[in-house]
Structure 1
Amino acid sequence: MKVICYAAMESPQCSPHTVNRPAAMLKALDKTVIEHNLLACGEAEEYIVFVGFEADKIIEKLGDEFNGVKVRFITASTNWNDCLTEVERSLFDTRQVLLFKCDSIYSKEDMQMLAADRNARLTCEGKEANAFSFDPAEVSISDDFQKCLRPVEVQDYCLPLRYPWNYLEANVELVRRLKVREIKGEIEDNVVIKGDVHIAEGTLIKSGTYIEGPVFIDSGCTVGPFAYIRKDTVLGKGVQAGRMEIYDSVLMDGFTSKHISYAAHSVLGENCNFGAGTITADYRHDGGNHTTLIENKKFDTGRRKLGAFIGDNVKTGIGTLIYPGRKLWPGTSSLPGEVIKKDRFNS
């Protein structure tokens, strides 16, 4: 069986975290989305990866071989139908194909169930999950090939990454599923750790810190002293979180905040720096759903609690306050004492 991953698309609705990377290169816990999905597929004869937007990032991550399986890259447009045309043209002699879009995270159980089912398509609550198993000799892609495939409903999970809060929700779902306490890092005296907490080797938890699981902390981090890490939080590699309170948030690789600050229901990008006193607001006084701008249109997120979505390499000045649901594009910054009321884009 050949596994085909379509990772060529742009994902503007998931900005700012997909401004400078494809959705396939977002990290969920300690692996990128594309790594999660390829591993979920099980045994494969070959991985074929369609790349386009920011292709070099995917090629560098996977290399010529991943998990002992040869990887072949095909440069494609960001149009899904172009990918299908290329699949039909180049794989007509292949007997079985597992094809998926890499803008969701699929479970091992569901992908291997799909792979074992000839000419089937994955659905999630009756909607297309954009994963397909078929024999190109039996199914013509030039037609509406999805109609030729039998729907198979997700049994475990399919986590879409359409909007930035979906990326947060996907990490929360995965950290809740760990259900294991694994402490490999260095823990100083007077640290309290409760629940399912993963702390990787090479991480230091300083005195006075309080951690409530489920929490995932990757390698090379320094947390505290006197940090408060609340449940559903994921810290990427090399995060420096001083006297922070963090709740239901993802702090991506290299994030730094060495002073007092607060982040909740937020995603904070790679190599960002929070100035002292930076606070993300997350709750409306009327308790209603938060709205945010998606491609310049107001969008109901369906969430009563929603923080900030901060791109890579953002720097906030001391005392910065950020309204709920606001997004800061990569490389932007704020002045000391500034209140961020609107999304901030690159100039």
Structure 2
Amino acid sequence: MDVIILAAGRGTRMCPLTDGAPKPMLPVADRPLAAHVADAAVSAGAEKLVFTVGYRSTDVESFFGTEYGGVPVEYAHQPTRSGTADAVAMAVTHVDGAFAVLNGDNVYDAANLARLFEHVPAVGYTRVSDPSAYGVVSTDGGTVTGIVEKPANPPSNLANTGAYAFPDGARKLLDVQESERGERELTDVLGRLVDRETVTAVEFDSWADVAYPWDLLSANEQALESLERAVNGAVHADASLRGRVTVEAGATIDAGVVVDGPVLIRDGATIGPNAYIRGPTVVGPDAAVGHAVEVKNSLLLSGASANHLSYVGDSILGPGANLGAGTVTANLRHDDEPVHAGDDDRPTNRRKFGAVIGPGVKTGINTSLQPGVMLSTDTWTKPGEVVDADR
């Protein structure tokens, strides 16, 4: 089975984190999101990977090269992002026979993909509590009878997982018209296929859609569930590592540091002295957590730093972000309701969620960030500010 992985979009709903990287290349534990997709595809039996690329395509190409996981890798360029059907149309010349299509920003299980590959044509689905945010699949006895994109009144609770196994003849069905959203949708291709052939509905028992920054936090939490203890960096004798903690070679942990796993500390990161890190947390390459800083359930991307007397809870720090001394991310509402975030005040469905701090952000000393605040790339705050709205 040749597998097409869709990785051309920027991921505007993930801003500001995607200002410097396409969404499929945002990190989940020790590698990009798209690498987790590729790993699952290869484990499921993929014989070739074809990435459809567009926004910052060189980021994808430089990471995956011409071979990944022992299988060849090719690239199809989508100059304008005109929808998922258009993205597949760019890539089908690189595949032979039946082919699979996977979203590059979803988290898949290899066993589920293997079952999908066995039932061509097929589409993966999973059961969700609120299907209105997804493509919704209708079935009858294990056969797909229809699919509709983000309906106001969903016909079922079966969400499309963005995983398809198409027969060779499906490449002739890719010339669909633009939808009401102004895009050529792969779900419309599937609808045409359903009218012609029996399409198997394959239930996925494990799947995640990474659409918003808080979903990236959830994906990292899930990935760290399988983290194993491994200490390869320099750890001071007076530091305490509890449970499943991985310290990569090149990382440094100073005296007085306490780390409660699961925590992944990447190459070049520096921790302490006298810092406290609670999992699930990822401290990215060359990131820094300094004196008297507490970090809990957070993601610090490459080069991010919180060097003095700060609290980082349930938050994401973008590459190169720097928190001034005494910066605090509040992560819990007084009314105990789920935190809302983003321009549309969207519910995160998380009881605790802190801040999304974009690349290059600098906070002044004693800055307080209210739950759900998002700071755009290169934003500054003044000393002593209380930030209760996005900027």
Provide the TM-score with structure 2 as the length reference. 0.82
Could you tell me which residue of structure 1 aligns to residue 161 of structure 2? Answer: 129
Q: Distance in 2 between matches of 1:111 and 1:183?
A: 33
* Shift, 1:263, TM fit: 0.4
Q: Distance in 2 between matches of 1:172 and 1:35?
A: 17
Could you tell me which residue of structure 1 aligns to residue 139 of structure 2? Answer: none
Q: Distance in 1 between matches of 2:56 and 2:357?
A: 20
The question of 1:80 aligning with 2:84 is answered yes
Could you tell me which residue of structure 2 aligns to residue 40 of structure 1? Answer: 40
The question of 1:316 aligning with 2:358 is answered no
The answer to whether the Cα contact below 8 Å between 1:84 and 1:141 also exists between their aligned partners in 2 is no
The question of 1:331 aligning with 2:378 is answered yes
* Shift, 1:279, TM fit: 0.8
Q: Residue 81 of structure 1: SS of its match in structure 2?
A: helix
Code of the residue aligned with 1:176 in structure 2: it is: E
Match of 1:230 among 278, 293, 314: 278
The question of 1:152 aligning with 2:202 is answered yes
Code of the residue aligned with 1:173 in structure 2: it is: Q
Alignment of 1:8-19 (within 5 A): 8-19=8-19
Alignment of 1:159-170 (within 5 A): 159-170=208-219
The answer to whether the Cα contact below 8 Å between 2:51 and 2:76 also exists between their aligned partners in 1 is yes
Could you tell me which residue of structure 1 aligns to residue 67 of structure 2? Answer: 65
Task: Output one character per residue of 1:227-283: Cα deviation in whole Å (capped at 9) or x when no partner.
Answer: 111121111111111121011100111112221111001011111111111110111
Distance 1:95 1:239, change over 3 A: same
* Shift, 1:66, TM fit: 2.5
Distance 1:204 1:109, change over 3 A: same
* Shift, 1:87, TM fit: 4.7
Q: Residue 168 of structure 2: SS of its match in structure 1?
A: coil
Q: Distance in 1 between matches of 2:170 and 2:258?
A: 58
Q: Distance in 2 between matches of 1:141 and 1:106?
A: 26
Code of the residue aligned with 1:211 in structure 2: it is: V
Match of 2:344 among 275, 297, 314: 297
Unaligned runs of 5+ in 2: 128-157, 177-187
The answer to whether the Cα contact below 8 Å between 2:122 and 2:200 also exists between their aligned partners in 1 is yes
Give the aligned length: 338
Code of the residue aligned with 1:84 in structure 2: it is: V
* Shift, 1:138, TM fit: 6.0
Which shifted more, 277-286 or 145-154? Answer: 145-154
Alignment of 1:158-197 (within 5 A): 158-178=207-227, 180-197=228-245
Code of the residue aligned with 1:336 in structure 2: it is: P
Q: Distance in 1 between matches of 2:207 and 2:23?
A: 15
Code of the residue aligned with 1:328 in structure 2: it is: L
Q: Distance in 2 between matches of 1:141 and 1:250?
A: 41
Q: Distance in 1 between matches of 2:200 and 2:110?
A: 20
Code of the residue aligned with 2:53 in structure 1: it is: V
Q: CA RMSD in A?
A: 1.9
Could you tell me which residue of structure 2 aligns to residue 54 of structure 1? Answer: 56
Match of 2:106 among 104, 110, 113: 104
Which shifted more, 106-115 or 166-175? Answer: 106-115
The answer to whether the Cα contact below 8 Å between 1:104 and 1:160 also exists between their aligned partners in 2 is yes
Q: Distance in 2 between matches of 1:138 and 1:169?
A: 34
Q: Residue 112 of structure 2: SS of its match in structure 1?
A: helix
* Shift, 1:112, TM fit: 2.6
Match of 1:282 among 327, 331, 347: 331
Code of the residue aligned with 1:86 in structure 2: it is: M
The answer to whether the Cα contact below 8 Å between 1:122 and 1:151 also exists between their aligned partners in 2 is yes
The answer to whether the Cα contact below 8 Å between 2:268 and 2:287 also exists between their aligned partners in 1 is yes
Distance 1:222 1:138, change over 3 A: closer
The question of 1:22 aligning with 2:22 is answered yes
Q: Residue 34 of structure 1: SS of its match in structure 2?
A: helix
Q: Distance in 2 between matches of 1:115 and 1:175?
A: 27
Q: Distance in 1 between matches of 2:107 and 2:380?
A: 31
Provide the TM-score with structure 1 as the length reference. 0.92
Which shifted more, 297-306 or 30-39? Answer: 297-306
Could you tell me which residue of structure 1 aligns to residue 184 of structure 2? Answer: none
Code of the residue aligned with 1:123 in structure 2: it is: Y
Q: Distance in 1 between matches of 2:277 and 2:8?
A: 36
Code of the residue aligned with 2:71 in structure 1: it is: V
Q: Residue 115 of structure 1: SS of its match in structure 2?
A: helix
* Shift, 1:210, TM fit: 1.0
The answer to whether the Cα contact below 8 Å between 1:94 and 1:137 also exists between their aligned partners in 2 is no
* Shift, 1:108, TM fit: 2.3
Q: Residue 219 of structure 1: SS of its match in structure 2?
A: coil
* Shift, 1:305, TM fit: 1.0
Could you tell me which residue of structure 2 aligns to residue 273 of structure 1? Answer: 322
* Shift, 1:25, TM fit: 0.7
